Chains A and B, each alone.
Chain A
Amino acid sequence: MPVWLTETEYRILSAACERMIPASEAGPGAVAAGVPDYIDGLLGAFHFDPPRIWAGGPTSGRYGGEAGFARFHALSSLDELAWRMRIEGSCGLPEREFNGPVVGLQERYRTGLAELGTDYPDLDPDEQTARLRSMTEFADLLYGHVCEGMYGAPEYGGNRDGSAWRAIGFDGDVQPRGWTDAEVSRP
């Protein structure tokens, strides 16, 4: 069950993400890596307490230490204002419109996915690519988030089990191990 998107929107989003980063010999595609969940999790960040904006520190546990990334940071009231403006938009609320109306990510995704269309998941890959390319602004927005979901820390919902990092030979968050001087200077 998606957190914020409808089931239909989630299917359209998944197809578009997979078109941007398809499964290959190198590794998983965007869907297997959980990228749609990353984006749905961002759009629905305020369904969680604390909101899923900033993972905690100092370690994830992948190289030792505790699983601190799993504890998300509480937001201050100013942080919450900023992230609600970014995600939900200003919604006509005067406290969010001190510099005029703000269109939020939720509205941009709802509009963009509707424009891709309910038939989008059933198109053949070339048609999917062409339709996505015809929507430059939405494709740019989506691709930024696809990159974050694919190659960011797994605690945000994408890069499932670090699978995308393994595919590109990236070791991820290496604290508290770090690298030895020899690994830095003479790898």
Chain B
Amino acid sequence: MLQHSIQLHSIDYVLLVTYFVFVLGIGFVLRRTVSGSKDFFESGRSLPAWICALGFIGANLGAQEVMGMAASGAKYGMMTSHFYWVGAVPAMVFVAIFMMPFYYGSKARSVPEYLKLRFDEKTRGFNALTFACMTIMSSGISMYALAKLLSAILGWNFHGCILVSGVIVLAYIFMGGLTSAIYNEVLQFFLIVFGFLPLVLLGLKDVGGWDGLVAKLVKPATDAGFAPDTWTHSWSHTGSAATNPMGVEWFGLAMGLGFVLSFGYWCTDFLVVQRAMAAKDMGAARRTPILAAVPKMFFPALVILPGLIAIALHSAGGSFQLPSKNGGLDYDMVVPTMLAHYFPTGMLGLGLTALMASFMSGMAGNVTAFNTVFTYDLYQGYIKKDGNDAHYLAVGRWTTVVGILASMAAAYAAASFNNIMDILQLVFAFVNAPLFATFLLGMFWKRTTGHGAFFGLIAGTVAAAIHHGLSLPHGAAAGIKGGWLGAVHVYPSEMAQNFWTAIFAWSTCFIATILISLLTRQKKTDEELGGLVYSLTSKIKERDARWWQRPALLGSIVLALAVVLNLLFW
């Protein structure tokens, strides 16, 4: 255990406090721009594409991402880049070009509301409810992780960390709504880049540049029983699940992660979609995910590389050593250990501020998505349908308070019952995996019916649960890891099991939705479905736009770059 390993000095605290002042200041200045619910929940649909784009990735750049990807980099090597170059980037281009016209172009104010317009009330209700619970759980986990980390490395008070982080996020969202959250995400984005970039540069210099790193990564690979270059290639060793540390083969990787999980997240999760829907016009909304994909593509250099450097240094047996946990290495400590190793006081304050910024942006993203879905889809949908705008604005503000309080409760739940958190996360994974099939069919096949969508989703969720119940990752005991129906198949790793659970859930939902739709009557007329389904929506003409404003062209460039990166690190 890395007990109180980092000593902060007054200069570090000065930086931290300065950051808090700016964060709250942004909320304070923006409070005057909020005059109605549209300003509070949708930023008045007024923001330029580049701000939405940085908010789009900022909201996703939570600490789980920053610390988790560094941990995966150390554990699995360059294969972690699949989360970016196979996972995120293609899905971001797809949502921009094909799905944004329906989200932004329809009158929907949220993703669940789109489901109501396209299908029916029950599909919307199911999605809104599960999504609301999921955002609270994620924000709670973020809070818990932050408090646990800070109390471990700095000796700060656990309760104090939860209270302070909660109150700051609450204050700036309460005052400035979504605009305040997005502005802070943009600020946090730059802070994370400036906080981690010197860490990577110093680390690279220390290991002797990229060539030195490649040479030093031979030992961790051969020690683990793999080919010497396993840690520095992304595809070369995916011919079989046994030849790489992730324990997945190329098909499970491309289908499970690249298609089902990534498209499910980037294309249907309101947390990110909300940022694009705040854009000032259709063109800006469609450019948002594509512009976001550009920095996203280069993030592996910022978040995966520290993991590679850390494991290289650790294996070399010098002064840099990762702490251990339960007989193995504590990979989650990669980033804090690197910060303590390379940053003197001063820069250490900047690094910790960046880390804290990533926790807060993850939390704020969840809370703004929660207050919108709760107010529009649950409160206006089921509790009070005919309130005036000021009423819904007030509800939104107080929902933010409730959301933060609920997140705090979730953080304490995570602290006291670790298993409950695992079970809940699992349930939500089951709910999320099939969702992309519902949206794909809803947007591109006008025959899809409300019953088809709803029962297809349920079937997909049940399929995910059954697959999980019947399979087990190698070396795990039956229970929370799977196999609770009796394990009939053992996967080489937990990740392989996750990918295949997602593939089964998606396929079941896809097939069930088609079959049930064919057997049930379409209750929506073609007029009602205009603007919601591809074949019934007039195509957007891009001829007047300049080349750099055309989503299809920009998207193609971004995809080509992603292909080049895949080939470079093949």
Task: State yes or no: do A and B come from one complex.
Answer: no
Binding site for A on B (CB under 8 A): none
Binding site for B on A (CB under 8 A): none
